[in-house]
């Protein structure tokens, strides 16, 4: 008898879409040891190099020594440890919301929050390129999922205008799109959501720590923070750690504590994660954060200029620079060629991105040197 995956595996193999894991035997830095070779890494979301920052790792170690490694149980069951509570207090304050709640991942925030707050008869309007966790949460919720054209407020407005008047409405988008590196017209989206009686949720996984004053995120940069009802960030990217946070009104967070299944029924994230996140937050909102962001965006600008000089049609105003190739096999071939030259930039293929838009997703960090970026440009040219 065939195994449950055999047929699908044969298909992804034939289509050049088979995925396998690579051994990473070092910290996630601008350079790393991948499959036994020293490479320059253009794949990590540790945009500010905080994953191995001495202050961040020291906070994690200290916390393990004081609180132990595990959280023991779910927070409603075993008690809620001080690092979790303190991170939530500081994140709420930093993001300008009444309250915040820490989850085990950003994925769990999106699926859990959407499934808890929306239900049958409700409508969720999500950008066509929204992250898998948003789509999965919308599906779990039982609400009708409506997709508007990518970063297109007119498309959103048309769909809202013709939607039935009953049920709750929620518009969901991202602050920086994870595979395209573009920022939506947040102000227009917020205006449209308000005009049509919809709540607004923004997943700023790739914008938090980088954009807006002190790295508060794209919704602060766009001046719409007060219009966003639900602000989602992850600790796994610019924060260099692990976990997800949702910031909203006190009443909304109380609702999640009472009704959100991934929060209620899962062992809490180890306390070292919020302890390390508190140290990372301190860096992000301070002068060192400003410096790291300055370096990051200088690097990102340099990468875009060099790739354009090399004849590639790239365009990005963020740290995520996609080089769209088209066919999956061609993207994989190009990624393999780069790796031979000592540069790792992952090929991103369907279903992560739409068919025919396979790409190399370059993730620029503050730690890359000019020489690293020049090497990337030369190899791609």
In the complex, which residues of this chain contact ligand PLP (CB under 6 A)? 105-107, 110, 131, 133, 174, 178, 203, 205, 234, 236, 244
Q: Which is nearer to ligand PLP, 110 or 218 (CB)?
A: 110
190's tokens: 């917020």
User: Is 203 noted as a catalytic residue in this protein?
Assistant: yes
**Catalytic choice (45, 104, 110, 299):** 45
- The CB-of-201 to ligand PLP minimum distance in angstroms stands at 11
Contact 276, 63 (CB under 8 A): yes
Q: Which is nearer to ligand PLP, 153 or 181 (CB)?
A: 181
User: Is 329 noted as a catalytic residue in this protein?
Assistant: no
Q: Which is nearer to ligand PLP, 76 or 132 (CB)?
A: 132
89's tokens: 């207090």
Give the neighbor-by-neighbor strand order of the sheet with 123-127. Answer: 99-103, 244-248, 230-234, 199-203, 169-174, 123-127, 144-148
Residue whose Cβ sits closest to ligand PLP? 106
Q: Which is nearer to ligand PLP, 178 or 316 (CB)?
A: 178
User: Is 131 noted as a catalytic residue in this protein?
Assistant: yes
**Catalytic choice (46, 88, 180, 203):** 203
**Catalytic choice (46, 174, 204, 372):** 174
User: Is 45 noted as a catalytic residue in this protein?
Assistant: yes
- The CB-of-228 to ligand PLP minimum distance in angstroms stands at 15
Separation CA 45–CA 205 (nearest Å): 10
- The CB-of-369 to ligand PLP minimum distance in angstroms stands at 26
- The CB-of-108 to ligand PLP minimum distance in angstroms stands at 7
**Catalytic choice (151, 178, 328, 332):** 178
- The CB-of-235 to ligand PLP minimum distance in angstroms stands at 7
**Catalytic choice (84, 131, 220, 231):** 131
Q: Which is nearer to ligand PLP, 203 or 229 (CB)?
A: 203
Residue with tokens 């499959």: 35
Catalytic positions, written as ranges: 45, 131, 174, 178, 203, 206, 237
């Amino acid at each position: 008898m065939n195994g449950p995956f055999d047929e699908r595996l044969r298909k992804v193999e034939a289509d050049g879409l088979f995925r396998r894991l690579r051994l990473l035997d070092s910290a996630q830095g601008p350079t790393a040891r991948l499959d036994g070779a020293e490479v320059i890494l253009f794949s990590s979301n540790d945009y500010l190099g905080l994953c191995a920052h001495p202050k961040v790792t020291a906070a994690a170690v200290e916390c393990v020594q004081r609180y132990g490694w595990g959280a023991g149980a779910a927070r409603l069951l075993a008690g809620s440890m001080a690092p979790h509570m303190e991170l939530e207090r500081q994140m709420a304050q930093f993001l300008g919301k009444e309250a915040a709640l820490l989850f085990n991942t950003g994925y769990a925030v999106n699926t859990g929050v959407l499934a808890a707050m929306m239900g049958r008869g409700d409508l969720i309007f999500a950008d066509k390129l929204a992250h898998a966790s948003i789509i999965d949460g919308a599906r779990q919720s039982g609400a009708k999922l409506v997709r508007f054209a990518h970063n297109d407020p007119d498309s959103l407005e048309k769909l809202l205008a013709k939607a039935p008047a009953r049920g709750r409405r929620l518009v969901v988008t991202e602050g920086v799109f994870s595979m395209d590196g573009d920022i939506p017209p947040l102000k227009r989206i917020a205006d449209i959501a308000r005009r049509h009686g919809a709540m607004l949720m923004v997943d700023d996984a790739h914008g938090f720590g980088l954009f807006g004053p002190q790295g508060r995120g794209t919704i602060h940069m766009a001046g719409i923070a007060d219009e966003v009802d639900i602000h989602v960030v992850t600790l796994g990217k610019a924060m260099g750690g692990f976990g997800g946070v949702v910031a909203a009104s006190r009443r909304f967070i109380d609702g999640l504590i009472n009704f959100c299944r991934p929060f209620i029924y899962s062992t809490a994230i180890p306390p070292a994660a919020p302890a390390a996140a508190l140290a990372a937050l301190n860096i992000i909102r301070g002068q060192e954060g400003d410096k790291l962001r300055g370096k990051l965006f200088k690097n990102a600008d340099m990468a875009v200029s060099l790739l354009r000089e090399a004849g590639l049609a790239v365009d990005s105003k963020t740290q995520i620079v996609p080089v769209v190739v088209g066919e999956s096999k061609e993207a994989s071939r190009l990624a393999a060629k780069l790796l031979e030259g000592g540069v790792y930039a992952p090929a991103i293929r369907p279903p992560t991105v739409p068919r025919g838009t396979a790409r190399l997703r370059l993730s620029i960090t503050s730690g890359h040197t000019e020489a690293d970026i020049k090497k990337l440009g030369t190899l791609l040219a």
